[in-house]
């Protein structure tokens, strides 16, 4: 710490000299005061820029997009979606992660389609990585799956229903992967601090949190955009799940319904509120999808939303830059 103080003091002195200002008449108290002020600014900057390398995600970075079909229906479908996402990535300069589930373990009905399973699913995701150069993610349901997933995926996703499962969190946290935990529909935003604590307990520092709606009565979800800055207070990037947020759980009897018309509205609102990324599921023909069709956007509608949210993010980042400058000016006046 003493070395850090000395370093900052030297920076202050060099700044004075560069601008032709003498430090001879500066008292030790004045130098010390400015040293503390500089130190606080340095700490503030470190905490406000949240990175989960190799992924850039956090204040003043571009949006991170986590996109793909809900479940791996077939290799052909996955490759079709990945191709379209790559085209959008190149056109709009997106930072994009490909997502698809190998198993939907919490389907409403025992007869619902679940996916190809762990081994086959991971092979398909690995093919996406090789052919399209995309980073990939998938969700984990049991501790024994973590090791295999970590060998293929850059991000391990913890489903909302399992957000409080200590053993699963800690097993995922021990890997070198980024861990993205979806906030349970039954949890308050501030309760996620305990989730973060569990991951940090095993040395995991690359953590993302995802807002995906809160239960509102029976069969409905609502979004409280305040949850975005509240969870960012834990010094983790916060992703907004725009498709699962429009679910109406169990509304179709043996499956979950939803209203995909609301996806663009919520995605734009969350971007304006300062989320660090958007989670978005898509399908060539959502009405024929085997899981979560009512919530997914058609591939044909992605480009417009990518463009709109990217423009909003640029505007938001400009607000943040101006806010920091105004804050620094106010500090100087005080």
Q: Please, which residues have CB within 8 angstroms of residue 332's CB and are 6 or more apart in sequence?
A: none
Residues 263-293: tens digit of each pLDDT: 999 999 999 999 999 999 999 999 998 988 8
pLDDT bracket for residue 327 (50, 70, 90): low
- Give yes or no for residue 41 having a pLDDT over 60: no
**Model pTM?**
0.82
Closest among 228, 234, 245 to 207, alpha carbons compared: 234
Q: Please, which residues have CB within 8 angstroms of residue 236's CB and are 6 or more apart in sequence?
A: 50, 196, 207, 208, 209
Fold of 64-319: TIM Barrel (3.20.20)
Q: Could you state, in order of their start, the residue ranges of all structural domains in the chain?
A: 64-319
What are phi and psi for residue 108, nearest 5 degrees? -60, -45
Please state, in angstroms and rounded to a whole number, the distance separating the CA atoms of residues 281 and 323: 33
Closest among 153, 91, 92 to 122, alpha carbons compared: 153
Secondary structure (3-state) at 71: strand
- Do residues 277 and 63 lie in contact, with contact meaning Cβ atoms separated by under 8 Å? yes
- Give yes or no for residue 5 having a pLDDT over 70: no
pLDDT bracket for residue 54 (50, 70, 90): low
Residues 210-230: tens digit of each pLDDT: 999 999 999 999 999 999 999
pLDDT at 11: 42
Q: Which of 33-37, 41-45, 176-180, 305-309 has the lowest mean pLDDT?
A: 41-45
Q: Please, which residues have CB within 8 angstroms of residue 160's CB and are 6 or more apart in sequence?
A: 182, 183, 184, 185, 210, 212, 244
Q: Between 7 and 168, name the one with better pLDDT.
A: 168
């Amino acid at each position: 710490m003493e070395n850090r103080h000395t370093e900052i003091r030297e920076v202050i002195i060099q700044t004075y000299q560069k601008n032709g200002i003498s430090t001879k008449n500066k008292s030790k108290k004045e130098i010390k005061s400015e040293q503390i002020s500089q130190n606080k600014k340095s700490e503030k900057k470190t905490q406000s820029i949240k990175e989960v390398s190799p992924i850039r995600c956090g204040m003043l970075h571009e949006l991170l997009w986590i996109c793909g079909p809900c479940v791996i229906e077939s290799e052909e479908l996955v490759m079709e979606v990945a191709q379209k996402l790559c085209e959008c990535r190149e056109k709009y300069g997106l930072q994009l992660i490909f997502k698809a589930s190998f198993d939907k373990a919490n389907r409403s009905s025992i007869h619902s389609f679940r996916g190809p399973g762990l081994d086959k699913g991971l092979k398909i995701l690995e093919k996406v990585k090789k052919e399209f150069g995309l980073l990939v993610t998938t969700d984990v349901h049991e501790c024994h799956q973590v090791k295999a997933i970590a060998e293929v995926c850059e991000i391990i996703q913890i489903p909302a229903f399992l957000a409080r499962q200590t053993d699963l969190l800690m097993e995922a946290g021990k890997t070198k992967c980024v861990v993205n935990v979806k906030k349970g529909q039954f949890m308050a935003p501030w309760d996620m601090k305990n989730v973060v604590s569990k991951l940090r307990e095993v040395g995991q520092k690359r953590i993302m949190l995802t807002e995906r709606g809160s239960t509102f009565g029976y069969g409905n979800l609502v979004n409280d955009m305040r949850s975005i800055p509240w969870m960012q207070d834990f010094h983790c990037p916060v992703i907004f799940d725009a498709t699962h947020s429009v679910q109406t759980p169990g509304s179709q009897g043996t499956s979950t319904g939803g209203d995909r018309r609301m996806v663009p509205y919520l995605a734009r609102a969350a971007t304006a509120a300062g989320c660090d990324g958007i989670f978005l599921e898509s399908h060539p023909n959502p009405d024929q999808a085997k899981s979560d069709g009512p919530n997914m956007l058609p591939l044909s509608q992605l480009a417009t939303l990518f463009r709109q949210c990217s423009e909003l993010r640029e505007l938001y980042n400009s607000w943040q830059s101006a806010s920091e400058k105004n804050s620094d000016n106010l500090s100087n006046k005080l």
